Amino acid sequence: EVQLVESGGGLVQPGGSLRLSCAASGFTFSSYWMSWVRQAPGKGLEWVANIKQDGSEKYYVDSVKGRFTISRDNAKNSLYLQMNSLRAEDTAVYYCARYGDHGYYFDYWGQGTPVTVSS
Amino acid sequence: EVVMTQSPATLSVSPGERATLSCRASQGVNSNLAWYQQKPGQAPRLLIYGASTRATGIPARFSGSGSGTEFTLTISSLQSEDFAVYYCQQYNSWPPYTFGQGTKLEIK
């Protein structure tokens, strides 16, 4: 059974940093692109970043470029999101998601970890 | 960036009836379109990919159609568990992958 379990969310002040983790199991993690998707309170879904199987390619939504860094450790079956210079508008539930076998849709999602940026 | 527009924002339908949700792309996305269902407090769940292929375990009452810029998700006979928010997502042109703003399907 595919499982994605996020952790690391919490309350942080504006300008602060946070590192999210996603532990993957039930599939060959190193064979899949992975992604982070977020959802602000009461809002829709927003793709944040993705990373290729070997970490050689990474892409970001414009609003987080230069502040967020996605990474992975295939030996640990883990995905990460380092978030720096956090802003109030980064407040959201952050989901780890796996890409499907037939395209760049998201076939499995974690339960999400909440991030609140507030003073 | 491809902008995805869903309509209506809210749809009120009675159990047992058919629901039709629409999604429009600002430019053609071929058949690279997915639909998700999200219930309160839960993560999204993949329903449809490739515009019309049901994901594993998705009941046959869910169907998707369309290509290019116009897409439809149809739920043939609504069950109580189907009342939720539905999102479309294009994955033809990226980054970024873009989602619609969602359609809330509520009980009439």
pLDDT tens-digit readout, B40-84: 999 999 999 999 999 999 999 999 999 999 999 999 999 999 999
Q: pLDDT tens for residues A7-23?
A: 999 999 999 999 999 99
Q: Which residue in B90, B84, B98, B107 sits closest to B37, CA to CA?
A: B84
Please give the pLDDT value at position A13. Answer: 98
Total Cβ atoms within 10 A of residue A51: 22
Please give the pLDDT value at position B94. Answer: 87
Query: A14: distance to nearest CA of chain B, Å?
Result: 25
Backbone angles phi, psi at A55, to 5 degrees: 80, 5
**B50-63 as b/e: b if 16+ CB within 10 A:** bbbbbbeebeeebb
Tokens describing residue A103:
């395209």
The 3-state DSSP composition of chain B as helix, strand, coil percent (nearest 5) reads 5, 50, 50
CA distance A43 to A76: 32
Residues of A in contact with B67 (CB under 8 A): none
Whether pLDDT at B92 is above 90? yes
- Put simply, the answer to whether B95 touches A50 (Cβ < 8 Å) is yes
Is residue B98 a contact partner of residue B89, using CB atoms and an 8 Å limit?
A: yes
Rounded mean pLDDT of chain B? 96
Please give the pLDDT value at position A62. Answer: 96
What's the order of all strands across the beta sheet hosting B19-25?
A: B4-7, B19-25, B70-75, B62-67
Q: pLDDT tens for residues B2-22?
A: 999 999 999 999 999 999 999
Whether pLDDT at B36 is above 90? yes
| Strand B62-67 to B70-75 pairing | antiparallel
Name every residue whose Cβ is closer than 8 Å to that of residue B59 and which is 6 or more positions away in sequence: none
Q: Which residues of chain A have pLDDT under 50?
A: none
3-state secondary structure of A66: coil
Q: pLDDT tens for residues B48-58?
A: 999 999 999 99
List the single residue in B34, B44, B95 with the smallest CB-CB distance to A109: B44
